[in-house]
Structure 1
Amino acid sequence: MMQFMQRVVKTLGRIWHQLIHLWKRWFRRSPPQSFHKKSNPKSSERRVQQPTKPLSAAEYEFLFSELLEGVHRGWSQAQVTQFLEEIGPESAVNLKDSPIESAAADAYVLWLQQFGTRLLNSPVPNQELARRMVQLGELNCGKLSAVAGEIGQTLLDREANTPSPSAPTPASPVALEFTLEHYLQLGQIHLDRRQYPSALTTFEQAATHSPNHPEVLYGLGLVCHRMGLYQEAVAHLTEALAQKPGFVAALTQRGLGYKGLDDLAAATADFKSAVGMKPNTPEECCARGKALMQLKQPEEAIAAYEEALTINPESHQGWYDWGNVFYDLQRYDEAIAAYDKALDLQPDYAAAWFNRGAALGNLHRYGDALAAFEKLLEIQSHDYHGWLCLGQTLERLHRIDEAIASYERALQLRPDDPTAWRYRNAALLDMKKS
């Protein structure tokens, strides 16, 4: 950043003195715990003088990089808004070649659209930049924020969708199969990150290529189950089993769907059928272990997972599922060890971060649990349950005002959910009593 600043100073001397006060005020301090309302324009506080000439693209890029750095450090919506107000609207003289036909758009948004086009046309990965742009978009600070979020998400999706150099060309006879495999892998990535709407969209795209493929139908059933759509989950999994009758994972997952529908007889029948099948792969061993847990046979379930992980110790999902067995048995230290193995193999495995945080909380290790939930929300900022658990953990650490903010973030995602309202209201009462 300092190298870039020095380069900008040398090339942009004409505006340096006019912006230096703005940068000192915003970029060289940590964000405060709370943000006060903007002062009255008639206040005696000296306002920062705006540049008299339009900014160049390089100047906008510098300011945008600093804005993203502030967002990464935790700036609030109000802080981002005031930052943008301090810059002020500029003319679009330096952006007159823009293909964007929007006279009402200000110069900063026009620049950002051009900047996004350059990023999307570049073969160089920009995942960290993309994540920060998504963070800015989630703050809902107007059009600039929305455009940044869209560009960032597109960049992340592009990185996830980029085939390997050895992938077949579109003219290849196996190109369709590669595309299908790609969608299946991307759907699993979204599941691992607890990005369920994105996972559903991805598996639906896979279904346009191969609607009767058992793995596609299984993926649809799995994500529907995660979203609480149990009836749809059972329907997809039944179709998967029609295409592949010995599909142990689909059978176990359908049993869980029936359980979600309170059809315990059908659920038990599926679990018993899954246990009765001889597993041929590590994945089938894990599925059988999950069914054994549902039948309350934990020792046999542990053995099934041990067999799977002996065959394939590099399976992050296997370690995660094994951790869940220990979690259900309230053997939290062993669960955490298994989650740690999963995270060693897949650091952005949001599901493992979530359950790791819950296990740490059950051990009253609230500081470590807080770090786990924060990591989860860094990966998936729209995780409703993640915000609830973060709030509960902050309450245990007596950080009530931050807990309330977490509950309010959960309410933004589910405004009608009574649980978040109950937690928030209880925390407000606790704060008033203290």
Structure 2
Amino acid sequence: MKPAYLLILITIKFTVLSIGLSITNCKAQNFDAPKIQISQDNNSNSNKCKSLYEVNNTLQKDPLNSNALFLRGKIKIEMGAFKGAQTDLSLALKDFKTKHRKEIFYLRGLSYYMENDFLNAISDFDSVIYLHPHHIDALWKKAQSYYFLGATTETIATLDTITVINPDNPITWHDLGALYYKSDMLDKAKDCFTKSLILNPRLSISYNHRGIIYENQEQYSMAFDDFTRAIQYDSSNVDAYNNRGLIYMLFEDYSQAESDFSEAILHSEDTAKEALNNRALARCILGNYEDSLEDINDLIDNYPFYSKAYITRGDIKEYMHDDSGACSDWQKAAELGNLIGIKYTQSACH
């Protein structure tokens, strides 16, 4: 069979701890997928309908009234009618004397953004920035548009501009740090997270993400301290609990690791894959095989294509001297394309 269990822990360290430390969640905090919340307030909807009726009357008499077109475009965006808004706002822009030119470009850019048409959105946000170089909202939306296009260099450059204009916003520094992290510029990322924490010492997400960098740089005590602070300022921070649990695993304090993984699972809105996988490992090492298998089986039931779970269940079965069961799980992981599963199957299963 495969080498001693200590080597499995080393594999866990490099495949779970170093690579899986909530990296998928180390993202720009304000970079949510484009969405719009349409008001369900009856009075608000009634006012919109009344305003729409009034501007329609105006436009029947004066079809190129730029002010009315601007107002109708704005209402349509609030109602989610983005194509119609773009038509109205484009017509309004034909009036070169309109006093709403900046706002029209911004609203039309926003409508493109809501449709995931990020290139046209960037063009309009650039027009806003040309008219008003310190327009923070347009700069933010431009940065977000670049982010969704995968243009990391341009996103960083735009966020850099925002930090010059508004250097006291901790979220900007956090998001800039997250993007530097994604670009493997760890020292710059760490500096940005530190700057965000100077501005807001209670910003849990920055502690968590700086802790990830400390872990990558093998400064485990610093990482532990940051994960602890992240939990201190947000007692429901799932990623921080999971990450600190992995540090406990590294320090071979498996009981504390199990406790942290349990907290991550408790506070997760859905099944916390990493935490459930890691708790199964901790319980196995502690000799609690029944609960360990219950965890990993629950994980596989919820995520049948999660290859790492099959690696873990195979490891647990091997620890219980069920060699054929271990090979079966590693083979399943290999079939799902997991390189560790392929390696274990080739080296340990005959």
Q: How high is the TM-score relative to the length of structure 2?
A: 0.49
Q: Which has the higher contact order (CA 8 A, sep 6+)?
A: 2
Give the TM-score normalised by structure 1. 0.41
